[in-house]
A and B are shown apart, each in its own frame.
Chain A
């Protein structure tokens, strides 16, 4: 078994208006940064995964996202799998 870190980014689906992102975008424009658009605000979740390989770790993290961590009705998620820092393989 190896230890991996799953780094999960969750954002509202593009079809759902992200009102926080929109508000921050307006604030950025009022700070004279009109070149910043499509601001999206989401959540970041990190967890350790014990798995024989990174592909299995990704499968486990994906299942976790589908069942609990994200709600596919309103959210998209992206998972990055990395070797866990400070963990013995």
Chain B
């Protein structure tokens, strides 16, 4: 499996994302925002966290017009796997690959802490190794992470099982106390209608190995590896 991690001016989690891919056994290439196309044979695109273009105008608003984004949109529309983390999620919303928007946290503060996520959908390529309801401890670090969308869009996301992760308490309960930013329905991550594009505010790449204190984030990368292995054409020879 080959991943391309896009670096925008102001990205600061690109190296971490490449490291997490390597830990998961994913071949990883660095892509530059000015590149006209993704590397050949890319299977997974990661838009990493950071502050692309200084968050000028709105988070992700300028990055979505980077030269490489046209190819990322084409790749996603052809069913390619795209993972947007934090600022990457904001870019995906701005580019229209995911619905809704991410606005200022309800508490107005930048929030940097560990949160618990409840796995809501296990049918996505990003959550396939997880059990429904599985809890993950993952860090968040953002000032604009409050997911908003009109009521119809929220209803559609819920009805179609497109909420991948929800902020919860350590016991898995979902309520306002567990919501770090005021997101609608405690939404922490969603997928597109095709299920091939995931945006999430928490940072799985920051908790991808025990050395860093927690490896819960590795589940996202391991799921992608498993999904890819299951989807790849088999070369096994029949023993008949």
Question: Are the chains A and B members of one assembly?
Answer: yes
- With a cutoff of 8 Å between Cβ atoms, the chain A residues found around residue B104 in the complex are 19-20
> B150 near A71 (CB under 8 angstroms)?
no
- Give the chain B neighbours of A20 by CB distance below 8 A: 104, 108
Q: Chain B residues near A17 (CB, 8 Å)? A: 106, 182
Whether, in the assembled complex, B103 has its beta carbon less than 8 Å from a beta carbon of chain A, the answer is: yes
Decide if A82 is an interface residue (CB 8 Å cutoff).
Answer: no
Q: Is A6 positioned at the interface, with any CB of B under 8 Å from its CB?
A: no
For chain A, the bracket of interface size reads 10 to 19
CA distance A74 to B93 in the complex (A): 11
- Which listed residue (B65, B99, B103, B105) contacts A16, Cβ 8 A? B103
Q: Which residues on the B side are within 8 Å of A23 (C-beta)?
A: 108
Q: Which of A12, A15, A68, A73 contacts B57 (CB 8 A)?
A: A68
Contact check, B106 vs A68: say whether CB atoms are below 8 A apart.
Answer: no
Q: Annotate A1-32 by CB proximity to B: 1 below 8 A, 0 otherwise.
A: 00000000000100111011001000000000
Q: How far is the CB of A12 from chain B (nearest CB, A)?
A: 7
Q: Is the interface of B mostly helix, strand, loop or mixed?
A: loop
Query: CA of A75 to CA of B104 in the docked complex: distance in angstroms?
Result: 13
Q: How far is the CA of A87 from the CA of B65 in the complex (A)?
A: 31
B103 adjacent to A68 (CB under 8 Å): no
Determine whether B178 belongs to the interface, using a CB cutoff of 8 Å to chain A: no
Distance to closest chain B CB from A85 (angstroms): 25
- Taking A16-B148, A17-B182, A19-B182 as contacts, is the C-beta distance between A71 and B101 under 8 angstroms? yes
Interface size on B, residues (CB 8 A): 19
Roughly how many angstroms separate A16 CA and B94 CA in the complex, as a whole number?
17
Give min CB distance, B124 to chain A, whole Å. 23
Q: Is the CB of A73 within 8 A of B100?
A: yes
- Known A19-B182, A68-B61, A68-B65: A73·B101 in contact at CB below 8 Å: yes
Q: A19-B108, A23-B108 are in contact. List 18 more A-B contacts (CB 8 A).
A: A12-B103, A15-B150, A16-B103, A16-B148, A17-B106, A17-B182, A19-B104, A19-B107, A19-B182, A20-B104, A68-B57, A71-B58, A73-B93, A73-B99, A73-B100, A73-B149, A74-B101, A74-B103
Closest 9 CB pairs of A and B: A74-B101, A73-B101, A19-B106, A16-B148, A19-B108, A74-B103, A71-B58, A71-B101, A74-B148
